[in-house]
Structure 1
Amino acid sequence: MVVIRADANSKIGMGHVMRCLSVADALLKRGEEVLFVTADDTPVPLLTKKGIPYCVLHTDYADMEAELPELWEVLRELPQGAESPDAALAQKNTSILVDSYYVTEKYLAALKKRITTIYMDDIYAFSYPVDMLINYNIYGEEMGYEKDAAFADTKLLLGTEYVPLREEFSAGAGYAQSRKELSAETENVTPAEDRLHQTAEQGRTADGGILITTGGSDSFNLAGQLLMEAMKYDALKEKEYHVVSGSLNPHIGELQALAQKHENIHIHCNVTNMAELMAESEVALSAGGSTLYELCAVGVPVIAFSFAENQERLVQTFVKRGIAQYGGNYRTDGNKMIQNTIAGLETLLEDKNLRTEYRKKARTLVDGKGADRIAEAIISGR
């Protein structure tokens, strides 16, 4: 069994849960049992919809040390006949995958003493006492984990080959590749993948529209601000805009009001066909996060921006490597970020060659099989 400890709420968004769900799906495909453990019931509707077992601790997501007694109670649901909780954990061959910025050294060390412990990281806050560390980010191999003696016995999964995308992205990463490029492998192309390739080509040769994605909660209403700014441009106000809104977005009413006022604005809630929606887009405006890797898998030119501290390094690295255009940092200058992003959109739409260059670089970054690689590593590492 693999226990997955991750949270989602209006303050931290849905990103931690979503990427762990990708790993969970890969584990389930391999016959592994999975149990999600969350601090509160915010992710429950999503987990229920996907049919994944879960347990709610009813604790403070930001105080993880305090939850340890409740977590151990959950793990006591163990095979009969075990001599002790520790023996039962070993008998059940249990691992725990933790994905939270609120972990402490004490918390992880307590877990590691009793159970194989895996941590999903982005920021290298300290030397994590874990058995396996995952940092799939584009900068993951540059953070210096290998030089830290604390990780001498830790299995390190670093770099974009471990990006845990959902299964809809794994069938054919780089949907923007032409069918001519795929001709040598036509016997391996599924009908669904071929359809997405065609959709991507059609969306980018015609006016496929502009995709706006600002995270699961968007507490600053960035999507609304970007739309209002775009309506000021003669060259942009008639474009088709597709806004992906998460279930935790407190500004959904404002977005829907904009959509009622402008028939070229479309709001998509609780999207289940993200890859296809991306494939139909000409350009995307996206906050930093896992969505950037999804856009790469589909091959969508993107203008990236940040609104949280942990996003800026990712966005800057994408820009430096020529994979995305920079929109700005909302935390340092919100108005400038909104204005730069929309001004950049106008420029990018006018430059087909630049869009093609972004597309080529993006689709080489991920292959959509990262979740499978993580699942295999977890299973083989116990």
Structure 2
Amino acid sequence: MRLYALAQAAQVFFDITFIYKTCSLPLLNKLHQANFNTQQIAAPLSTDELLPHAFTAIIVDDYDLTTDEWLELNQLTIFIVKLDDALDHQPIWADFVINPAPNVSLEEYRKRAPNATFCLGPEYTYLRKEFAAQDYIPIAERPNLLIALGGTDPKSLALPLSKAIIDALPEAHVCLLIGQVHQQQLVLEQLARQHSNFSIICNPPSVAQIMMQSGLAISAAGGTLGELSSQGVPTLALVTVDNQLPALGSPLNNSWYNAIDMRAFDCNQADSHINNDLLSKIKVDAVNLWHDKCLRQGMSDIARQLIDGLGCQRIIKKLIVNIQQKSEL
């Protein structure tokens, strides 16, 4: 979705094509509805499939791209952009590097990519257009508690977490936001029928609108955090996979969001002590925050000051300048 956000900002200046090895059908449908071109390519990536397009630039968002594939890309005479999360200290083979995290080091990045241009920090947060279009609603007027666990919910937290929050906060309306049919969809739908204060929202027209109605969120600590921040949603941020670890060490932790390391949660051990302890911590923190509207309003105010919704526009403007400069060399 961060590529989608960049594509929205770039489509005024470029023809956009999404190149993918694998992609979910709901996401492909979303891209086609927005009139973006798509093309599936083989794995491993080969320049033979990319050359006919004569791309001006390629923006890479792929944790699993191998060294050989990066070398293939560098054989092309195109401008290479990498979306990075500072998960390692390996060299970066790109002309342009983006990381909107608040605690990234320019000095460290220059060691990894000495000839690159950088867009670093929250002012470059990837947000789709819808997030700049919402009128702010004060926390006291937001009725919902939002659970958002990313596109795939790799820990299968949706069901146990929803159950825990429904029971702990019967006065809140708990909304589970999912981007596609969940692996536990039937059981979740049964839960929604049993509890009037629980609903499932699948692939809504506007995620921003859902977030603006939320007085508290329990969210995976990935790119969704930038979206929640822009809408001023106090958040319990769940670190479920290693690429979300920067949320734990960020200076913003315990400001507008509180991070919880959930990597030890094992969906195959439903009643383990570790699972129960982690769910109990989330439940206690959620209850305490929900009952303290003043604290949540303060968290919301901090969040809204960080991100203005123009990050993608800044990135694209800077990208165009750098492409032009490279073409003149």
Which residue of the other structure, out of 96, 111, 114, is the alignment partner of 1:132?
96
Question: Post-superposition shift, 1:323?
Answer: 2.2
Partner of 1:284: 217
- SS of the residue 2:45 aligns to: helix
- The letter of the residue matching 1:100 is D
Distance in 2 between residues matched to 1:220 and 1:105, nearest whole Å: 29
- SS of the residue 2:188 aligns to: helix
Q: Is 2:164 the partner of 1:164?
A: no
Matches within 5 A, 1:235-246: 236-246=169-179
- SS of the residue 1:111 aligns to: helix
Partner of 2:315: 374
Q: Is 2:7 the partner of 1:20?
A: no
Kept in 1, the 8 Å contact 2:176–2:199? The answer is: yes
Question: Post-superposition shift, 1:56?
Answer: 0.7
- The letter of the residue matching 1:212 is I
- The letter of the residue matching 2:80 is T
Partner of 2:159: 224
Deviations 1:100-138 (A, max 9, x none): 111233322331232211111113431111111111122
Question: Post-superposition shift, 1:319?
Answer: 5.4
CA change 1:248–1:101 in 2 (3 A) is farther
CA change 1:247–1:331 in 2 (3 A) is same
Which residue of the other structure, out of 13, 17, 27, is the alignment partner of 1:31?
13
CA change 1:124–1:155 in 2 (3 A) is farther
Partner of 2:37: 53
Matches within 5 A, 1:158-307: 158-171=120-133, 193=134, 196-197=135-136, 200-201=137-138, 204-206=139-141, 208-233=143-168, 236-247=169-180, 249-307=182-240
Distance in 2 between residues matched to 1:277 and 1:161, nearest whole Å: 23
CA change 1:319–1:327 in 2 (3 A) is farther
Partner of 1:85: none
Kept in 2, the 8 Å contact 1:105–1:128? The answer is: no
Distance in 2 between residues matched to 1:347 and 1:143, nearest whole Å: 40
TM-score (normalised: structure 2): 0.88
Question: Post-superposition shift, 1:44?
Answer: 2.2
Deviations 1:234-269 (A, max 9, x none): xx1232111101215222222211101111111100
Partner of 1:10: none
- SS of the residue 1:232 aligns to: helix
- SS of the residue 2:59 aligns to: strand
Kept in 2, the 8 Å contact 1:245–1:267? The answer is: yes
- The letter of the residue matching 1:205 is A
Kept in 2, the 8 Å contact 1:35–1:54? The answer is: yes
Kept in 2, the 8 Å contact 1:124–1:143? The answer is: no
Unaligned 5+ runs, structure 2: 266-273, 324-329
Number of residue pairs aligned between Structure 1 and Structure 2: 311
- The letter of the residue matching 1:272 is P
Partner of 1:188: none
Give the share of equivalent positions with the same residue, in percent. Answer: 26
Kept in 2, the 8 Å contact 1:275–1:298? The answer is: yes
Distance in 2 between residues matched to 1:143 and 1:366, nearest whole Å: 23
Partner of 2:327: none
CA change 1:326–1:164 in 2 (3 A) is closer
TM-score (normalised: structure 1): 0.76
Kept in 1, the 8 Å contact 2:215–2:234? The answer is: yes
Partner of 2:270: none
Deviates more, 1:105-114 or 1:276-285: 105-114
Kept in 2, the 8 Å contact 1:219–1:251? The answer is: no
Q: Is 2:52 the partner of 1:117?
A: no
Kept in 2, the 8 Å contact 1:139–1:314? The answer is: no
Q: Is 2:314 the partner of 1:352?
A: no
- The letter of the residue matching 1:211 is L
- The letter of the residue matching 2:278 is M
Distance in 1 between residues matched to 2:185 and 2:162, nearest whole Å: 13
Question: Post-superposition shift, 1:318?
Answer: 5.9
Which residue of the other structure, out of 68, 73, 91, is the alignment partner of 2:49?
73
Question: Post-superposition shift, 1:295?
Answer: 0.9
- The letter of the residue matching 1:373 is R
CA change 1:261–1:293 in 2 (3 A) is same
Partner of 1:179: none
Unaligned 5+ runs, structure 1: 1-17, 61-65, 78-88, 172-192
What is the RMSD computed on CA atoms of the aligned residues? Answer: 2.0
